[in-house]
Amino acid sequence: MSTATHCPYCALQCAMHVEAGPGGAPAARPAPFPTNRGGLCRKGWTSAELLNSPERIVRPLLRTDRSGGFAATDWDTALEHVAGRLKGLRAEHGADAVAVFGSGGLTNEKSYLLGKFARLALGTSRIDYNGRFCMSSAAAAGGRAFGLDRGLPFPLPDVASAEVVLLAGANPAETMPPMMGHLSGPRLIVVDPRHSATAEQALAGGGLHLAPRPGTDPALALGLLHAARAQHLLDEDYIAARTTGFDQAWKHAAAFWPEQTEQVTGVPAQRVREAARLLATARGAYVLTGRGSEQHAKGTDTVSAWINLALALGLPGREGSGYGCITGQGNGQGGREHGQKADQLPGYRRIDDPAARAHVAEVWGVDPDELPGPGPSAFELLDALGTASGARAMLVLGSNPAVSAPDAGRVRNRLSALDLLVVCDFVMSETAAMADVVLPVAQWAEERGTMTNLEGRVLRRRAVLAPPPGVRTDLEVIAGLAVRLGQPAERFPADADAVLAELGRASAGGGADYAGVSPERLEAGEELFWPVADAGASTPRMFLDGFAHPDGRARFAPVGHRPAAEEPDAEFPLIATTGRLMGHYQSGAQTRRIGELAGAEPEAYVEVHPDTGVRSGVADGDWARVVSRRGAALARVRLRADARPDTVFLPFHFGGEEAANNVTNPALDPVSRMPEFKVSAIRLERADPPQEAAAPRAGAGQRGPARPAG
């Protein structure tokens, strides 16, 4: 028997069939679909292996004491224990004593119900999610430019017909390999300080690789705008008819003539002029940004600088051209639309908007005054855990902040200070290993629901097989806790289709309107791109008739260039930047447990220029300690002659001593509250190999590592 569904990993949401493989074990094979066109990457091909992993957690686990491990228990005991502790902490310290941390990997239904649970069952304002670490800067920049943010406001196949595509801070050849099928025709301009696989393909196809010093993307975007105007290549008619604010934006770009841009970024002036000319004269062009542009303490301004360039060339809101953000996590788009972000209610509504509060409160059957206001952003929430001003307990769904958060050692200390940490997961991630209670939940192929991919396309996730006995879905966990906290059962349905119907009512009339999305339409194979306001609606291409601001015009943002939050010095002379590998995903909690993927990339590594290696006293194959002002990460040295001498690269998929985020900087963007993942001042030291495994291997019922007392 074969069931059609979608890959559990990135935002391409490649279509696949899951069926019985050799020996009856589930196996995945690709299916035709617009984003993957019948292809899968290595992660997709091996995704079904985790479904019957011996490391699955299949019974609720309670930590017996702070110095011991876990004991398996039944669901009633576990949920009663959690609810009782939450009630006690709320009674003693107030509703904000409890926090919730979600994920861009949760389905739309889970994201929605989790936000509702936090605000009604807990009454807390302290809810955010790991998408704050991924797409928040692009969402903020897109919202202020266009009035509404959707990752790609057009179907991905549109890109294939373009003549030129500029990729700023994106490496899809490794992170989303099937996407490269859409990029084989256009000439690519890749902006990346690293000589990535995507940069290599750009050069092989006659394109360009612009390798700016990390943290100088805004200067490069300003320089490209300057070079385009100097060559009389701007679309003046489009600027006049469809935008506002160009003159204010130009005041910042005016100082970045190509030679000045070269001084700041290291990109040769002639390449700046050439890239501007290629992009501006193309018959169809796109500017696409990714995490490399966003994960900075100035990420919103960086993305705005790229949007300004696209607007000046007349690209957004035109068929055959455009601007878009390449969303990362599987439901990174839907996950930020329906209420698990600290400042949002369902439908992309702001939680501090009285009309939005009134609409959602009516759907929920409560008084608007019962809804809390906006809470702290993800890192701010994590950094205050266990303090006098922070939460005393936290519930985590689908995330692994012990590895994925910046300044991860600091975050682990805060997790350790909690009175109660509850983690819902299906394997013993590093965060689960620190928990007081671990609740085993179903995986992607064991539940149904909807996901929203990088195009804003709403997809049907189908249940392929039943979860193991004793395992519940996240929706069942949320519903079970809500009832034990005094909520009426009908307010928290555990059926995904019932939740989707309510989500539609709550999002109706909002920016991300799902009112017309139904299981029947999805099962019938309709292509539904939000907004889907009613039964006949879908919006594959946004902004063709006007942008989402009241006057229908896009806004230029008056942004300039400023240094990174932290610059190298004599003690920390190098820059570390982080990124992803083809074979692993996010914190690696899933992919490091799949034999083929772990075998291909079993350990952390650091890419180093040979001259930098000599100066630092490390050779190819050595173990090195990458040291910042915050902590250190151990990694195997890989010397690369095409690396920047001032920059090293670390993948962030490994845990323990090998966690790249031990060194990253939690400095926050003032608008999006995105941390500065991409620029950390570091030094390299030769080191002994790590003394602990990169991932805990505690399975269900085993004793996990103890969580130190706070």
Question: Which position has the token pair 């902040």?
Answer: 401
Please report the pLDDT score of residue 66 as a whole number: 65
Distance in angstroms between the alpha carbons of the first and the last residue of the chain: 50
State what percent of residues in the chain have pLDDT above 70: 97
Mean pLDDT on 500-527: 96
Q: Cα(635)–Cα(689) distance, rounded to whole angstroms?
A: 8
State what percent of residues in the chain have pLDDT above 90: 93
CATH topology of domain 136-326: Dimethylsulfoxide Reductase; domain 2 (3.40.228)
Question: Which position has the token pair 């200070």?
Answer: 417
Task: Look up residue 528 and give its two tokens.
Answer: 């539904």
Task: Look up residue 408 and give its two tokens.
Answer: 């991860």
The sign of the CA dihedral 547, 549, 552, 557 is negative
Please report the pLDDT score of residue 710 as a whole number: 29
Task: Look up residue 623 and give its two tokens.
Answer: 């173990």
Please report the pLDDT score of residue 20 as a whole number: 74
Q: Cα(69)–Cα(590) distance, rounded to whole angstroms?
A: 22
Q: Residue 146's pLDDT band (boundaries 50, 70, 90)?
A: very high
Within 8 A by CB and 6+ apart from 15, the residues are 4, 5, 6, 7, 30, 31, 32, 33, 35, 36
Cut 0.75: pTM above it? yes
CATH superfamily for domain 2-52? ADC-like domains (2.20.25.90)
Q: Are strands 187-191 and 457-461 parallel, antiparallel or unpaired?
A: unpaired
Q: Residue 695's pLDDT band (boundaries 50, 70, 90)?
A: very low
Q: What is the pLDDT of residues 410-449, one digit of tens each?
A: 999 999 999 999 999 999 999 999 999 999 999 999 999 9
Mean pLDDT on 395-413: 97
Q: Map 470-515 to HEC letters.
A: CCECHHHHHHHHHHHCCCCHHHCCCCHHHHHHHHHHHHCCCCCCCC
What three-state secondary structure class fits 390? coil
pLDDT score of 68 more than 80: no
Please report the pLDDT score of residue 19 as a whole number: 87
Q: What is the pLDDT of residues 480-507, one digit of tens each?
A: 999 999 999 999 999 999 999 999 999 9
Closest among 308, 324, 231, 209 to 276, alpha carbons compared:
231
Angle between helices 496-507 and 108-116 (to 10 degrees): 70
Q: What is the pLDDT of residues 206-241, one digit of tens each?
A: 999 999 999 999 999 999 999 999 999 999 999 999
Q: Cα(385)–Cα(374) distance, rounded to whole angstroms?
A: 17
Q: What is the pLDDT of residues 534-561, one digit of tens each?
A: 988 999 999 999 999 999 999 999 999 9
pLDDT score of 705 more than 60: no
Q: Cα(465)–Cα(468) distance, rounded to whole angstroms?
A: 9
pLDDT score of 21 more than 90: no
105 touches 466 (CB < 8 A):
no
Q: Which helix (H) or strand (E) element contains residue 142?
A: helix 136-146
Please report the pLDDT score of residue 94 as a whole number: 97
pLDDT score of 144 more than 60: yes
pLDDT score of 246 more than 80: yes
Task: Look up residue 195 and give its two tokens.
Answer: 């000589």
Mean pLDDT on 566-571: 97
CATH of 61-133+331-529, one of 3.40.50.740, 1.10.3720.10, 3.90.1150.10, 3.40.50.2300: 3.40.50.740
Residue spans per domain, the chain:
2-52, 61-133+331-529, 136-326, 574-687
Pick the more confident residue, 612 or 65: 612
Q: What is the pLDDT of residues 148-203, one digit of tens each?
A: 999 999 999 999 999 999 999 999 999 999 999 999 999 999 999 999 999 999 99
DSSP 186-197: SEEEEE-SS--H
Q: Residue 708's pLDDT band (boundaries 50, 70, 90)?
A: very low
pLDDT score of 699 more than 70: no
What does pLDDT average to over the chain?
94
- Please name every residue paired with 637 in a beta bridge, in sequence order, or none if there are none: 606
Q: Cα(393)–Cα(389) distance, rounded to whole angstroms?
A: 12
pLDDT score of 135 more than 90: no
Closest among 328, 450, 445 to 28, alpha carbons compared:
445
Q: Map 588-611 to HEC letters.
A: CCCHHHCHHHHHHCCCCEEEECHH
Closest among 100, 67, 244, 145 to 707, alpha carbons compared:
67
Question: Which position has the token pair 């292509």?
Answer: 527
Please report the pLDDT score of residue 63 as a whole number: 93
CATH topology of domain 574-687: Barwin-like endoglucanases (2.40.40)
- Give Dmax (Cα) for the chain: 71
User: 388 φ, ψ to 5°?
Assistant: -65, -30
Closest among 62, 67, 63, 64 to 708, alpha carbons compared:
67
Please report the pLDDT score of residue 187 as a whole number: 98
